[in-house]
Structure 1
Amino acid sequence: MREGWEPWPVPTAARYRQAGLWAGRTVGDLLRELAASHGGRTALVDGAARWTYADLDVIADRVCAGFAARGVRHGDRVLVQLPNRAEFVHLWLGLARLGAVPVHAMPGHRLAEIRALLSTAEPVAYVVAERVGRVNLRGLAEQACAGLDRPPLLVIVGAHADGSGAEVAGRAGSTGGSTVEGPGRASDVMGWPALLDEGERAGPPARPVVGGRAPTSDDLVALLLSGGTTGTPKLVPRTHDDYLLAARSAAEVCGFGTDTVYLVVLPVGFNFAFSSPGVLGTLVAGGTVVLARDPSPTTTLRLVERERATAVALTPPLVPYWLDEFAISRPDLSSLRLLQVGGARIPDDLAARAEATLGVPVQQVYGMAEGLVCYTQPDDPAELRHTTQGRPMSPADEIVVADEDDRPVPPGEVGELLTRGPCTLRGYYRAEAHNRFAFTADGLLRTGDLVRQLPSGHLQVVGRVKDQVNKGGEKIAAVEVEEHLRAYPHVVDAALVAAPDPKWGECPVAFLVCDGPPPTARDVAAFLRERGLAAYKAPERVRVVDALPLTAVGKVDKRSLAATASAPEATMTALPETPAASVARGWADR
């Protein structure tokens, strides 16, 4: 085992390299090649600002040198909490060149999630937006880091890094930033422009970077968030080899090339938006990435028209809003060739209606940060496009549909999806106890998803073994929320289950056992928000019961609870409808 993570077995890795699946290149090397072959082509668009491939190569050097000047070294982790803006891409490429590892947090994460990530990843730096909407992310970052024995360097991205009209000024002598005092040691703070200035003064980084070593293709390139089912976020280690294979394979399967213009509507740190094919796959193919800072259908449909976007990815709950807006504004979508829908299963009839209304093929995408990604194809029969979640993108992806004892089920029957392959992790980061039951004895990942495989090889996702709620692509770990619910006054016990929802696919419903006045859903939402939990995790309905039902072995019978979660009940209180802009991971003012 390497520091905190499990690499592929040596013979397996050698087989992947011999087969040409792993190319032995780093992201930094690839960017140099792209700058040489596509130097003058537009690579990235953010509002009125545009960057060529040559520009990205220069900026990656500056970011790399700037962090190296601050003592960040090969293998160090850097927590990243940024919305859709160019700095995310600049930062990611620069860290890849340095050999430091970005840890993808979502803009919608709050104190509980950030503290868990700080504890697990132990980052030496934390790059965060000043604000997202009405949310003060810098204040959240300062609060999360207060009291840490080794607080990370805070790098603030925003129009005014200190929130007062001027970039954070350098302290006389050394740090180039201000200081945030907490109960423990202080955190250094600096603005993003100041970091770039330091990198420019230092000049292009040497190979190897002084004090460290140059990254190699089997090093970590990112730590992604799993949708997991436990109370703390699980981190997914991705290497240069496997992540570039994922991006390249996805680009090939989806037909991306130099003429591709990919519009990023979902949060850029979401694996679906970043590498399926997403940002990374578009860059690998030599195309153009367009970032949508505002995810509203009005704005994004206009961006399709203005930038002549050819591909876009949405989650299922966003699709009806796109259809409604299209009917009103009638934008020119003649450039659009592919509408990807993933993060959750899209209803069959909605997939068919989207194709008919927009005149664009819908590509269903089923995948996970852990590695496996499946796609339908535009030339698949309509029945498969609308009712399945596709086939694995690589012939080297191994899948088994298994029963509770990990034995393959008969063809066409439902079972849990097990998988391994050249893009699928062999162990979560710093999670040895979890890894013991997350993988089979022969290294297959237990996805927790219940699927049926058709004779064509296409998968139909029919449910989950995992104890979580999938609200429009948001994975809500029941255990985490239940722990907080039990801290509410007069709540003796709690269980969170998924209820069917016509708009979001599923919504969380809380069953509470109380010894005093029961809370409403509004009360619970406010309580969880005060405890630092992201707002999308709050139950939309609350039901009070005398006791939680138990199975024969004494576990809470959640299947029984789920069966009654949607039944009318006077004690069940509904929350207001979630705005469309908060559907995707990290959006809006949660």
Structure 2
Amino acid sequence: MASMLGGCTPWPEEFVDRYWAAGHWRGNTLDNLLRGWALQYGPRTALVHGATRLTYAALNRRVDRMAAGFRLRGLRAGQRVVVQLPTVPEFVTTVFALMRAGVVPVFCPVSHRAREVSHLVRVTQAVGYVGPSAYEGFDHTAMAADIAARRPFLRRVFTLEAPGTSSPYGGLTTDPSGCQYSPLGSIDAPPEPALAPSAGQVAFFLLSGGTTAAPLLVPRTHNDYAYQVRAAAERVSLTENDVYLAALPASSPFAFGSPGIVGTLAAGGTVVLADDPDPAACLAVVERERVTLTSVTPAAARLWLDARAAVRADLSSLRLVQIGDGAPVPRATAERMARAGGCQVQQVFGRAEGLLTLTRPADPDETVLTTQGRPLSPDDEIRIVGLDGEDVPAGEPGELLARGPYTVRGYYRAPDDNARSFTPDGYFRTGDLARRTPDGNLVVTGRLEDVARRGGHADPSDPSGPSDPSGPSGPSGPSGP
């Protein structure tokens, strides 16, 4: 396997050999997989956003031309570009085009502001930024200009739409700092011969949802992420007849690949990108597009249920609703969703760092309502340890540790955090309290720091999850699966 990007922690060779031998890793990059999907499903609808509909063939052509356009603007393989876009088709095309150009996208929630974005640019030495000109009243272009003035390596800013005529950054312009500004729609050039990047290289960076002052960068490789979305799609029996609604931000790990957007494309299904995350608007989209599955956080699930009582929408097409975000789901929420939606509910628990656990469609109701399921992969290795780092007795609560074929071995350029968050033998310390049931399912009961804040008085063995259904559902930000 080719060496990973400098500043990343690779899997040891013995694990690399194990994951290849098991067929988990298959040596294909995500952007090249899209080529195959376009050949297989060409005329089928890949993306829907409002009135916009894009076939697989058209999606792949746009990615091809955008990748050539990015290279024409000076982006080179191995460089990093921060992508801060809302849930629109351009998010999907930009991410795949950057990967096809050999450039590494850095996923950034559109809600982040100068402090977080500047940190990401500094740590990754990002040469480019892709974002809206302005979004929900915030001027992203002005923010990017300010960061570019202070970070000499940021020299390319691509805006989702051309800024207004009063903006100093309209069209193809360059400001006094030497940073070039271009509308994203102008990034277009005749396709070039395909690059041949290694699938062992970093495909993109996700952000950790931990409690550190600044977000940590999670390097996901083509091999490990392709395996994750393929396995997750198999767990929910995704087919080309499925329609997935991305009701959560496209940049969130849950919506992007659990199995989410990428898993749906891998199966030949249709991805509907919610142009309005309002629950009533999403319910209307479910009816209009005949959505068959979606994923929501516990908090969003409660809002959907409240809206369902007021909105008359035909939800009979829904077969599965995934609920999760790196926090346990209150039993009452899962029961209400199953009754109101007339569909299966699946609990999903995960971290941007990789570990993903899911309940299975064939699981008894009690398992779905009270546990976070079992690990995605047969090669996921799970430990539950006490404060001394030793494994606790079966059924007892402790900190959840994990390693496996899609769980990273370290954050990017963060040696001190790596020493705290990963064991010497490569287990990721999730910081989550969990216990294992006799049948092998996990029950996540909270966060380690929450117990520490309460002086250790919380009962981490309480299987009921959050007691206040209106309270916080877990860590904020892109920490979920």
Does the pair score TM above 0.5? yes
2:105 partner SS: strand
Q: Which residue of 1 aligns with 2:457?
A: none
> Given the alignment of the two structures, is residue 193 of structure 1 paired with residue 175 of structure 2, yes or no?
no
Distance 2:292 2:9 in 1: 38
The one-letter amino acid paired with 2:100 is R
1:143 to 130, 146, 149: 146
Please give the residue correspondences for 1:247-326 in structure 2 after superposition, counting only pairs within 5 Å. Answer: 247-326=229-308
Distance 1:585 1:425 in 2: 16
Give the C-alpha shift of residue 166 in structure 1. 9.5
Say whether the 8 Å CA contact 2:242–2:291 is kept in structure 1: yes
Q: Which residue of 1 aligns with 2:164?
A: 163
CA deviation profile, 1:531-572 (whole Å, cap 9, x unmatched): xxxxx8xxxxxxxxxxxxxxxxxxxxxxxxxxxxxxxxxxxx
Q: Which residue of 1 aligns with 2:394?
A: 411
Say whether the 8 Å CA contact 2:318–2:341 is kept in structure 1: no
Give the C-alpha shift of residue 26 in structure 1. 0.9
Distance 1:95 1:63 in 2: 8
Q: Which residue of 2 aligns with 1:230?
A: 212
Q: Which residue of 1 aligns with 2:309?
A: 327
2:438 to 424, 440, 455: 455
Say whether the 8 Å CA contact 2:43–2:56 is kept in structure 1: yes
Larger Rg: 1
Q: Which residue of 1 aligns with 2:428?
A: 445
Q: Which residue of 2 aligns with 1:205?
A: 192
Distance 2:134 2:152 in 1: 26
1:328 partner SS: coil
Say whether the 8 Å CA contact 1:316–1:504 is kept in structure 2: no
Shift of the 122–466 alpha-carbon distance from structure 1 to 2, 3 Å rule, reads: farther
2:44 to 27, 37, 41: 41
Say whether the 8 Å CA contact 1:64–1:94 is kept in structure 2: yes
CA deviation profile, 1:123-173 (whole Å, cap 9, x unmatched): 111001122222222222222332222223000002xx1223899665xxx
Unaligned runs of 5+ in 2: 453-465
Distance 1:301 1:58 in 2: 31
Distance 1:284 1:165 in 2: 43
Count of aligned pairs between the two proteins: 462
> Given the alignment of the two structures, is residue 503 of structure 1 paired with residue 470 of structure 2, yes or no?
yes
Unaligned runs of 5+ in 1: 171-176, 209-213, 470-498, 509-535, 537-583
Please give the residue correspondences for 1:1-40 in structure 2 after superposition, counting only pairs within 5 Å. Answer: 2-40=5-43
1:505 partner SS: coil
Please give the residue correspondences for 1:2-151 in structure 2 after superposition, counting only pairs within 5 Å. Answer: 2-151=5-154
Distance 2:166 2:241 in 1: 40
Distance 1:103 1:88 in 2: 12
Q: Which residue of 2 aligns with 1:552?
A: none
The one-letter amino acid paired with 1:207 is A
> Given the alignment of the two structures, is residue 352 of structure 1 paired with residue 335 of structure 2, yes or no?
yes
Please give the residue correspondences for 1:565-584 in structure 2 after superposition, counting only pairs within 5 Å. Answer: none
Q: Which residue of 2 aligns with 1:580?
A: none
Distance 1:2 1:295 in 2: 35
Percent identical:
45
Give the C-alpha shift of residue 456 in structure 1. 1.6
2:187 partner SS: helix
Distance 2:61 2:35 in 1: 9
The one-letter amino acid paired with 1:368 is R
Distance 1:122 1:347 in 2: 41
Distance 2:70 2:121 in 1: 19
Give the C-alpha shift of residue 504 in structure 1. 3.2
CA deviation profile, 1:259-315 (whole Å, cap 9, x unmatched): 110000100000000000010111111111000020001110010011110011111
Q: Which residue of 1 aligns with 2:460?
A: none
The one-letter amino acid paired with 2:317 is S
The one-letter amino acid paired with 2:37 is L
Q: Which residue of 2 aligns with 1:180?
A: 175
2:309 partner SS: helix
Shift of the 300–99 alpha-carbon distance from structure 1 to 2, 3 Å rule, reads: same
Give the C-alpha shift of residue 381 in structure 1. 1.3
2:218 partner SS: strand
The one-letter amino acid paired with 1:100 is V
Distance 2:263 2:163 in 1: 35
Say whether the 8 Å CA contact 2:5–2:202 is kept in structure 1: no
CA deviation profile, 1:477-506 (whole Å, cap 9, x unmatched): xxxxxxxxxxxxxxxxxxxxxx98542336
Say whether the 8 Å CA contact 1:104–1:224 is kept in structure 2: yes
Say whether the 8 Å CA contact 1:266–1:585 is kept in structure 2: no
Distance 2:451 2:84 in 1: 24
Normalising by structure 1, we get a TM-score of: 0.75
Moved more, 266-275 or 389-398: 389-398
CA deviation profile, 1:12-44 (whole Å, cap 9, x unmatched): 111111111101111122111111111111111
Q: Which residue of 2 aligns with 1:572?
A: none
The one-letter amino acid paired with 1:205 is E
The one-letter amino acid paired with 1:291 is L
Give the C-alpha shift of residue 186 in structure 1. 3.3
Shift of the 167–336 alpha-carbon distance from structure 1 to 2, 3 Å rule, reads: farther
Distance 2:451 2:271 in 1: 32
Give the C-alpha shift of residue 207 in structure 1. 3.3
Distance 1:21 1:103 in 2: 24
Distance 1:255 1:468 in 2: 37
1:146 partner SS: helix
Shift of the 405–256 alpha-carbon distance from structure 1 to 2, 3 Å rule, reads: same
The one-letter amino acid paired with 1:356 is R
Distance 2:322 2:474 in 1: 23
1:8 partner SS: coil
The one-letter amino acid paired with 1:227 is G
1:318 partner SS: helix
Distance 2:154 2:77 in 1: 19
Give the C-alpha shift of residue 47 in structure 1. 1.0
Say whether the 8 Å CA contact 1:39–1:53 is kept in structure 2: yes
Q: Which has the higher contact order (CA 8 A, sep 6+)?
A: 2
2:364 to 381, 400, 403: 381
2:310 partner SS: helix
Say whether the 8 Å CA contact 1:78–1:123 is kept in structure 2: yes
Shift of the 65–507 alpha-carbon distance from structure 1 to 2, 3 Å rule, reads: closer
The one-letter amino acid paired with 2:158 is V
Distance 2:194 2:296 in 1: 40
Distance 2:365 2:253 in 1: 27
Distance 1:243 1:104 in 2: 14
- Provide the alpha-carbon RMSD of the alignment: 2.1
